[in-house]
């Protein structure tokens, strides 16, 4: 029975660290492994830069899959933006691409088994799901199986010299530049780091969706993008983020103090 080993790269830190981890700890698997990235064609520039770095550091080409139907085509067809309630972007732009690629592998050999390696960490094991429907596809979670946590991921990338993607300097997550999971502060960071992409998102929000009868359909639940970047809103959002950061730091310091006191 032929085996295929695929690592699903997202362009983020966890899947990148998994590639390095497998190379160091599962070298026989890594030699046969294919790195696959499902490109939405709407990623931020730093994501593509990081993928290029991964190829250099690992000396291994990445297979980059394109969606059969572009985001623009899907927008014209569906006529509404992806949202919490209707998250059509991930299944149609990423999951479908991977599924089609796996089908092609199966067609080469009906009896083959495909291992899909996913960079879910031990501290988020609840995200793991069984492939279930197809016995020839097996999801593998090396970080969960080997107790690799968030700090371990940072250590792996730093020790290899590649570090984390540059977008983490101003953004909390990988993904499309207009991802609706972004906070208001993330949107401001996009505006300040890639204003061209911010204005492009505004065009999707106000031109393509203008004909929808059930009211405005926007990427952000609190603000229309044209309103979010008004000076008064930018000040308000940045101040809220500053207070949030201070509170988080104080909580960490308090937790450390409490642990120290209780250990006496």
- Kindly report the pTM of this predicted structure: 0.85
Work out the mean pLDDT of the chain and round it to a whole number: 87
Domain boundaries, the chain: 3-169, 184-262
* Whole-number percent of the chain with pLDDT over 90: 65
* C-alpha–C-alpha distance, residues 252 and 259, integer Å: 11
8 forms bridges with which residues in the sheet? Answer: 36
Sheet with 33-38: strands ordered across? 62-65, 33-38, 3-9, 113-117, 137-140
Q: Identify the pLDDT of residue 222.
A: 86
Contact 88, 110 (CB under 8 A): no
Superfamily of domain 3-169: HUPs (3.40.50.620)
Three-state DSSP at 178 gives: coil
* Half-sphere exposure of residue 221: CA atoms within 13 angstroms, side-chain side: 7
Q: What is the mean pLDDT of residues 237-255?
A: 75
**Structure confidence by residue, pLDDT tens digits, 161-182:** 999 999 999 998 888 999 999 9
pLDDT band at 114 (very low <50, low <70, confident <90, very high): very high
């Amino acid at each position: 029975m032929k085996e295929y080993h695929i690592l699903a790269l997202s362009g983020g830190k966890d899947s990148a660290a998994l590639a390095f981890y497998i190379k160091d700890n599962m070298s026989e698997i890594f030699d046969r492994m294919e790195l696959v990235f499902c490109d939405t064609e709407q990623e931020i520039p730093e994501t593509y830069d990081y993928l290029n770095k991964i190829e250099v550091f690992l000396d291994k080409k990445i297979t980059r899959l394109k969606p059969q139907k572009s985001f623009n085509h899907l927008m014209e067809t569906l006529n509404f933006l992806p949202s919490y309630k209707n998250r059509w972007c991930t299944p149609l732009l990423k999951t479908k691409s991977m599924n089609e690629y796996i089908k092609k592998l199966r067609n080469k050999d009906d009896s083959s088994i495909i291992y899909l390696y996913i960079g879910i960490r031990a501290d988020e094991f609840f995200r793991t799901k069984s492939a279930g429907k197809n016995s020839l596809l097996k999801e593998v979670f090396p970080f969960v199986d080997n107790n690799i946590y968030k700090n371990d991921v940072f250590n792996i990338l730093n020790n290899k010299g590649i570090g984390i993607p540059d977008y983490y300097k101003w953004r909390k997550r990988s993904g499309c530049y207009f991802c609706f999971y972004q906070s208001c502060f993330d949107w401001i960071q996009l505006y300040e780091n890639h204003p061209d992409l911010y204005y492009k998102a505004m065009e999707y929000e106000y031109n393509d969706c203008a004909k929808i009868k059930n009211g405005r359909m926007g990427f952000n639940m609190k603000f229309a993008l044209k309103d979010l970047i008004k000076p008064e809103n930018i000040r308000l959002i940045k101040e809220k983020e500053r207070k949030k950061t201070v509170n988080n730091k104080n909580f960490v310091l308090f937790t450390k103090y409490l642990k120290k006191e209780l250990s006496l």
